[in-house]
Amino acid sequence: MKKFVFAVLFALLNVFPMFSQTIIRKVERGEEAWRYLIKARKNMENGEYASAIENAEFAKASAKQNADWELYVLQNTQKRTRVRRAGDNILDVLEVLKELELNDAVSVVERNIEERGIDYFDGKFSKMMDSEEYFSHCPEADRIIAMVYRLEGEYDLALKYMNLAYEYADNLIIPAQKYEILYSLADIAYDLGDEDSYEKYLLSVLKDNPYYTDKNFMEAFTSFAGNDSEDGVEKFFLLYRNNGYESIKALSKLSQFYLKKGQQEKALQCSALGSIAIITKIEETLKERIIGYSYTTLEDLLIKSARFEDIVGWGSENCIWETLYNFADVTASCGKINFSSRLFKVLAGCLGDNYWRKMAAGRVYLEVPSETDKVFQ
């Protein structure tokens, strides 16, 4: 471990001279942050961890240099009387900047508007200038550094950098990576044995899921899921939908977490909502691929989805089939034997993933193979 730390410190000696300028300047072509991020990702994939951190630090330095330069450009416009007289409205200021042919400033303002929208700055030119400090951070780079430290077993450092990545998540090139950062934070908390933080980070993913945050819906939803009848399975999957796909993994992990804690009501809520999101996602995918497809039964949906290798692969890689299995397991733990038995039977006959199909089969006695079993023989 000490060797790794020394290697990182040595590598960083190359970063600081390159970006430590007394004169603020625009980032040169070839030195953009995104280029270093690509290199850092490749380094990490190849196990070149010191180089990954070095290039991630280059990306951070480049992002700061760019923000410093943009702030310098915007502040300099205030030396012009006409710009000051234009007031603080971004569009009014932009019009004057174009008339004065202050092209660098025009470029900065237009790019910020394109990437963030005017409302992000409350329509104020002054807030755009103030935001440059925030823009100087590179969350993708902090995430890479955190991932490397986690691989090296340096969990405290991993947590520090991953928290930085989340703090500046609004800067992400791909906004949806915010959820990946939260999942990574949850994984690190799990490594550290911090159950409270583990739960907190997973719940943060669910803040953007309108179904989970709607208490009235969740009460009605859970009540229906708790009905103990065999036909309740089909009614349940026919009635509800949830397109919060980014929260599937959080719901799956939380359902297992709450079940181990003996909090069965919460476990049922999470596993049920996660399962509905899965069925919604698969249904939408099948609609794109099968002309005239519409949901009829869970059995039919699973049989059709098993015909597509990429859907089966997606399910295996993202704990999809495990989540459906866990839903049946949670309902069984809650005493809903008829509901869980029926669900286990459907999963045992139809899941495209062999492992979880066999796991489900182990929970229910099938007297004779159903017609759906023949799909996999």
CB 71 within 8 A of CB 132: yes
Distances (CA, A) of 19 to 31, 59, 107, 150, 222: 10, 10, 23, 27, 55
Going 101 to 105 to 109 to 115, the CA torsion angle's sign is positive
Q: What is the mean pLDDT of residues 154-180?
A: 94
Q: Which pLDDT belongs to residue 304?
A: 95
Provide the mean pLDDT of the chain: 89
- Residues facing 323 on adjacent strands: none
pLDDT-derived band at 15 (thresholds 50, 70, 90) equals low
Q: What pLDDT score was predicted for residue 17?
A: 52
Cβ contact 328:347 at 8 Å: yes
pLDDT tier, 41 (very low <50, low <70, confident <90, very high otherwise): very high
63 vs 375, which has greater pLDDT?
63
C-alpha 46: how far from chain center: 23
Provide the pLDDT for residue 373. Answer: 44
Are 233 and 343 within 8 A, CB to CB?
Answer: yes
Instruction: Answer whether 249's CB lies under 8 Å from 201's CB.
Output: no
**Helix, strand or coil for residue 124?**
strand
| Per-residue confidence (pLDDT) for residue 375, from 0 to 100 | 43
